[in-house]
Structure formats: structure tokens, C-alpha cells
């Protein structure tokens, strides 16, 4: 399982775009990159997943450079409710594969 | 998306008692479920992989005789914390992988169970 490195914490303001970068230098050819969000006292929630280039959904975008050794989660126009911990995971994610969580990034949105 | 529930959401017990936590996949079948533990301000730590109809696979350092896992059906896994002590107080979370996946390879997490041992 590829190890990931993320900033421990970040602060931003409401209405700003927030970019959280994750390093995964040992990513394998069959690995996917997945981001989860976790609010206090709740289970993690899937945000976005990608393999290469750019992926966008209704809540976020994921940018993955050609070498795939890093990825950036982009949250457009954040609000106070986006305050949470964000986890970057790298794994093949074959069905029934276990997930190992890194330390995550604690994002704090200020008014 | 698929829904995973946990019961109870919160439990307080006395030291030395056993506590059972249920994890259910509400609208899908899961041959494999996972149990995590999370201490305050820390990340999720995988405890074990729960396999339907067979023994659970425990991560290194997790006592299988203390954390009993039973996966009796395709929609239910239980975690029993035996002879609980205050250091077992934590947030316990389960997850499951849906049988018929959508476009993403994702696991669905339960809402968690807050265990407090007095």
C-alpha cells in the first residue's frame, strides 16, 4: 500500500478555493487515488476518486499529474460546513481490499 | 449510495463488562466488512477484516480474543469488546464494500459507535 503525505492542517476562509495536495511517490500502476471527508464523530464519506488527469464531480475536483506521484483535491468556494478532516488514500481497491488511512488534513474554514 | 448503519451509536459501560456493536449493510450485501478504531484527534486505525462465514483477519497488535468479530450473514457483522477497560474507550467505525459496484471503487462507512468505559 502506497504511503501518502498530506499537510497536517490548513486554514481558509469562506468563499475561497481550497487545494489540498497529497504526495504518493510510491504509487503503483494499478493504484487509484481516493479522497474521503470526515466530520467529527462521524464515519468517513467518499468525496472523489481518480486514476489520472482531472476528475470533477458536484463537490470537488481532483487533479493528478502525469507521473501520478501527487494529487490535489480542490474544493471550490468553501463554506463553514467544509470544516473537516480530509484523507487521501492510494490503493488498488479491488473489491474487499482493506483501506489504510494516513493522518489526513484537518481543514478549518473561518468566517 | 449504499448505506451502512451501526448500533448503538453511543454506549457507556462499566469496566470489566462486554459490549457488542452491530454493523449492518442496509441495502446491499457485503461479504467483507472492516472494523476501525479512532482515538480523539487521530486517524482511523484498521482493526480487522470481517469475512462472512469465516474467521476475521486481525491487524498486527489487535487482540483477537479481546475484540471478537462475527460475520454471520451478508448484511451483519458484530464487534464485541470483551472485558472492556477505560483504554478501550474510542470511536469504533465499520465499513463495507458493495457487491455490485457503481462507477467508483469505494467503501461505505457506518456512522460510528462511541464507546466510553468507566
CA distance A52 to A78: 24
Average pLDDT over residues B13-18: 97
Please determine, for residue A35, whether its predicted confidence score (pLDDT) is greater than 70.
yes
Q: Which residues are registered as beta bridge partners of B22?
A: B7, B78
CA distance A96 to B97: 6
Which of B:11-70 have CB within 8 Å of A? 31-32, 34, 36, 43-46, 49
pLDDT value of residue B91? 98
Report chain A residues touching chain B, CB-CB < 8 A. 32, 34, 36, 38, 41-46, 49, 87, 93-104
Alpha carbon of B28: minimum distance to chain A alpha carbons (Å): 14
DSSP B86: G
CA distance A80 to B77: 35
Give A-chain residues touching B105 at CB under 8 angstroms.
Answer: 32, 34, 49, 93-95
Give B-chain residues touching A93 at CB under 8 angstroms.
Answer: 105-106
Indicate the pairing of strand A105-110 with strand A45-50: unpaired
Model pLDDT for residues B41-91, shown as the tens digit of each residue: 999 999 999 988 888 999 999 999 999 999 989 899 999 999 999 999 999
Per mean pLDDT, which of B39-43, B95-99, B106-110, B113-117 is the most reliable? B113-117
pLDDT value of residue B45? 96
Candidates B49, B109, B114; nearest CB to A41: B114
Amino acid at each position: 500500500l502506497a504511503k501518502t503525505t498530506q499537510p497536517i492542517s490548513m486554514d481558509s476562509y469562506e468563499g475561497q478555493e481550497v487545494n489540498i495536495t497529497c504526495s504518493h511517490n510510491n504509487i503503483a500502476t494499478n493504484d487509484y487515488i481516493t479522497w474521503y471527508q470526515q466530520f467529527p464523530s462521524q464515519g468517513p464519506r467518499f468525496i472523489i476518486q481518480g486514476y489520472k488527469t482531472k476528475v470533477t464531480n458536484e463537490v470537488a475536483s481532483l487533479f493528478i499529474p502525469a507521473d501520478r506521484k501527487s494529487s490535489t483535491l480542490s474544493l471550490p468556494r468553501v463554506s463553514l460546513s467544509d470544516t473537516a478532516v480530509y484523507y487521501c488514500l492510494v490503493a488498488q481497491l479491488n473489491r474487499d481490499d482493506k483501506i489504510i488511512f494516513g493522518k489526513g488534513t484537518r481543514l478549518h474554514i473561518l468566517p | 449510495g449504499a448505506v451502512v448503519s451501526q448500533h448503538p451509536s453511543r454506549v457507556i459501560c462499566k469496566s470489566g463488562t462486554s459490549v457488542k456493536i452491530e454493523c449492518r449493510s442496509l441495502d446491499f450485501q457485503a461479504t467483507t466488512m472492516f472494523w476501525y478504531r479512532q482515538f480523539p484527534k487521530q486517524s482511523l486505525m484498521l482493526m480487522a477484516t470481517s469475512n462472512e462465514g469465516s474467521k476475521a483477519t486481525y491487524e498486527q497488535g489487535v487482540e483477537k480474543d479481546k475484540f471478537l468479530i462475527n460475520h454471520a450473514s451478508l448484511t451483519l457483522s458484530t464487534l464485541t469488546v470483551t472485558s472492556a477497560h477505560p483504554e478501550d474507550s474510542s470511536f469504533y467505525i465499520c465499513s463495507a464494500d458493495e457487491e455490485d459496484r457503481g462507477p467508483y471503487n469505494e467503501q461505505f462507512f457506518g456512522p460510528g459507535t462511541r464507546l466510553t468505559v468507566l
